[in-house]
Amino acid sequence: MEYKDYYKILGVDRKAGEKEIKKAYRKLARQYHPDMNEGDSAAAEKFREINEANEVLSDPEKRQQYDQFGSQWQNYQKTGGRAEDFHWSGEPSAGRTYTYRAASPEDFEELFGSGGGYSDFFENLFGSGVRGASAARSEPRPRHESKPRHGHDFEHPMQVSLQEAFHGTRRVLEWEDGRKIDAKIPRGVKTGSRVRLKGQGNPGLHGGHAGDLYLTIEVLPDKRFQRENDDLTMTAPVDLFTLLLGGKVSVSGLDRTVSLNIPPGTANGKVFRLRGLGMPNIKHPDQRGDLFVTVEAILPQRLTAKEKELVEQWKAMR
């Protein structure tokens, strides 16, 4: 039986960090998920291997034990399971320092527990060989039934418009085998928000609950509004005469149009704050941020000769 290379199964380097391992696992888990490969026994076995590899490599303690013990399993079996004949060989992994010594049967049996829930690789490595070595000294340890394990969560990216983020929306996620999930996107989501769909992740093991699916939100740029947390900013064009003499201009927010009062002598670039016209708060949708409106002066174009004359007279008066 071949040695199981968990790094190879996930397609990562032995020096891979936690984030790289997590990213590789999620990609493969989506690809070989049973719901996307119904009736495909090869995909199901691959999915089991992926979960097993992730369980080992995502746990620092288990990973260290695997790096230390796992690659030496063939040497151990060649000794016939006799701990006194077995000594570690080879070089330590980069960045890690180990003290090499003779491996006792207890070392192997304690590695990842007594084998429950793992592959034949671990059953053979930590089962028959270990029990054969220890039989002369003690009774075989009873094998415990596998405990239920919660399925792993995974993420799926989701893009929404600013309008959809404001009003809330729905998305239907559909897989090739016909499975559909109706996902509700709440009001007030922002880029980086994670929407939890309970029980829609990877299936559990041994009767354990399924994991969750998290939709990772990206709010697309909007032509009129910029967003900062729950506040919105926008630019409103205002003609020169209204800025000089005062007046009212209409400002269209996301959900309604309001009249903005412009005092006489308003400077170009002045910012007005309209309370409660921003985005809803994702935790308290009835509470909203503010809308900040920057006025932009619009100068008259193509002046007539008479208009130019009047402007010159005005200039002389000033």
pLDDT score for 189: 94
**In angstroms, rounded to a whole number, what is the distance separating the alpha carbons of residues 164 and 75?**
60
Length of the chain measured in residues: 318
| Complete DSSP assignment for 282-307 | SS-TT-B--EEEEEEEE---S--HHH
Identify the weakest region by mean pLDDT among 26-40, 46-60, 129-143. Answer: 129-143
Tens of pLDDT, residue by residue over 20-34, are 999 999 889 888 887
State pTM to two decimals.
0.52
The model's confidence at residue 115, banded by pLDDT at 50, 70 and 90, is very low
Higher pLDDT, 90 or 67: 67
**In angstroms, rounded to a whole number, what is the distance separating the alpha carbons of residues 144 and 266?**
79
Composition of the chain by helix, strand, coil, percent to 5:
35, 20, 45
Higher pLDDT, 91 or 266: 266
Q: How big is the chain by its Cα radius of gyration, in Å? A: 33
Tens of pLDDT, residue by residue over 234-276, are 999 999 999 999 999 999 999 999 999 999 999 999 999 999 9
Tell which residue, 103, 153, 147, 101, has the closest CA to residue 129: 103
**In angstroms, rounded to a whole number, what is the distance separating the alpha carbons of residues 132 and 134?**
6
Mean pLDDT, residues 111-139: 42
Q: What would the two tokens of residue 219 be?
A: 């709010």
